[in-house]
Structure 1
Amino acid sequence: MTSSEELHKRRGAAVARGVGSTISSYVDHAGGGTITDVEGRQWIDFAAGIAVANVGNSAPRVVEAVKAQVERFTHTCFMVAPYESYVAVCEQLNAITPGDFEKRSALFNSGAEAVENAVKIARHATGRPAVVVFDHAYHGRTNLTMALTAKNMPYKHRFGPFAGEIYRVPMSYPLRDGGLSGAEAAARAIELVEKQVGAENVAALLIEPIQGEGGFVVPAAGFLPALREWATAAGVVFVADEIQTGFCRTGQWFACEHEEVVPDLITLAKAIAGGLPLAAVTGRAELMDAVHVGGLGGTYGGNPIACAAALASIETMRELDLTCAAQRIETVLAARLRTIAERDPRIAEVRGRGAMLAVELVQPGTLVPDPAATAAISAACHAAGLLTLTCGTYGNVLRFLPPLVISNDELARGLDILDAAFG
């Protein structure tokens, strides 16, 4: 079998340098809470392909569904010759997303594409141009979603000019907000929108209920409900970007459910199809149906193989009760992280929900970010066989996203490695 070293040399001669990887080992197979590389080394997986492998990397139902669909047909393009599985996925999404109103869904390929289409829908339905986003936000790597994203490096640097009519306001960031309540932080953001943009010009307010790449920032209680209330009163489409938080990751099907916030539109991707490329926008029927026929779509959107995988993935989530699994992981993982934090003054905060937890590292006694320590601890985890990720506007957050099917033993082994990495 080809070694990781040999594959890395081939990569250097074939793959664009701008495509990075967290580790230099190459995967042979994966499942449950582990990844095995081509040398046979096993890694405990606290990344889940960036919150994609919620049902695992080779969930039996997904594998069988994909095999069966490949034998029938791989592609016709739903816009040319439609098929049942696309309709069935939309039915499932309409049923499981928050809100008891009539809904419609449309399927796409990636999270960024879902976000772009949510903006298109909101602008078309309202006739307004402006989109409000938040500090520390991440929404994708396409031109529009780079404009929506807050972080310059590596996502935006020298890739402009970007799309216009995007307005950024402060996020509720309890660790760095100076004690602002959720309601106060929302009032601060709303005041800026009303003064600098004008509510009557705003098509959509777009927010991650828990920020992902921005640092797993959980807004203070009341922040999201206050924004939702304002959006309703102002005729602004409230869009929840649940691409990283969705599908049981936070201990609910969707993170906005923790505060009973019901979005007008919700963007979905990542864990929707057990690792196959699929994304969606789901929302109020009157908004989704406002767009003219032919205004939404794409050649590969709702590919039949991905749709088969999505149906099997959603059924697996139900069958294994993965919302409860995420809550179980939170109980174990959060307790261990707090124990580490008690002895390590570099940890300013343990935060997150469900199996979406993080620690923010700072210089002891301050709130000055410490990205060097964060990178060093993550590297120590990798050297010992634990796959971890960093994130945050300042590069000083360690984030933990284990597959929701990780076993108790795998979780414990991973935490032992993490504990040792902190020293």
Structure 2
Amino acid sequence: MNTNFKVVFNKARGALMVANEITSSVQAKGTKTVVAAAVAAVMAGVAGTAMAATDATSLELKEGAVITITADKTGISGGSAIVDGTDAYKDQTFVDGTSLTLTDGKLVLTDASDTWDAIDGKSGVIAVTASKDATGASTLTVTKALELDQADISLTVHNGKDSGADATVSGASIALKSGKLTVNATKAEGANDDGAGTATVSASGAVTLGVATSYKGENESVEVPGSAFDLDIQAKTEITGETVTYNKGAVKNAADLTLNGATSTTVAKEVTFANTGVITLSGETVTFDADYTTAEGNAGKLIVDGTTTTKINGNITTDSIKVGAAEAKLSDEKNTVILVNGAAFGVDSKTETKTLTFAADKEVSISGGVFTSATTAVSASGAQINVTTGSDENTSTSRTA
């Protein structure tokens, strides 16, 4: 019903505006905008007239509708678009206070910055791209929460020579129950590390990815299967928040991926890895409950950096575990798990490594779990291993020097 209408950017109001197709995509300051009247009125033959615009409170994109935003124009195409509860558009503008609902809809942002009050919905696609022609970052900002039951999010950065362009999605909180984050990069000729663009998903509060499976009864039969949110990372990526919780999903990483929760970062047991790059888990407290086995297809480096506490409750099988700072180059530490500040291995953990290396004055504690190392190398005088088996009375401590 709204195929005769589009959205333009009105410079005088500094906002997106619904208008007829004959209206220019960019409205200069002082230019009257012919605002779309109700579809019923248009159908009745009432001519479009210039009217005082009001700010829309909501936009819903349904059935494949797409809103496309660039630095100089914006448009809605396909599907069905609902403004303030009706597809009969009135004289409204989309401003920072407008909320967006995706019901099988799509938002495409290229070489531009855009702000919404909130984004939610059943299912949607968000694509943020910094192209080879970008002069700055492409940024999607959500003032409140970004919450989607099923989300396919694509971030494309640009890697240039000495300088690049970033792609960012940010919100007060972010909860993505299922779907996928895909990160790629365009590359200029002569692109170097100094020009690498960064893809960022960030929240001032909590970031939650996937939904954990819940169990019931003594046999722990599945009550709710949960849902996976996957990561496919081909360019430098940072996922940050006050807390970062990754409940369920598959990580495929060929670049530099960081999950950083200022207070806590948690990787649950239903997260799997195919890592040929570098993954860093950081924060005040880092809890790693997943399994991690280095092998072909997972021969990268995992860095676990809890500044106060690192808890390992999953199973780790790797060529090497190093306690201390990581080397800068991946090639120096492939098939390696780095415990920057030591770690506490829990009762359910099982760890096997060919080599355990202490390169820093840190502590590894093993509380009832299984930890096997073929060899141990020590280059830090205060390095320490504490082993607890069963009770506080049955504790052995060895200090290596």
TM-score (norm 2): 0.20
More helix by share: 1
Query: Per chain length, whose mean CA-contact separation is higher, i.e. which structure has more relative contact order (CA < 8 Å, sep 6+)?
Result: 1
Structure possessing the higher radius of gyration over alpha carbons: 2
TM-score (norm 1): 0.19
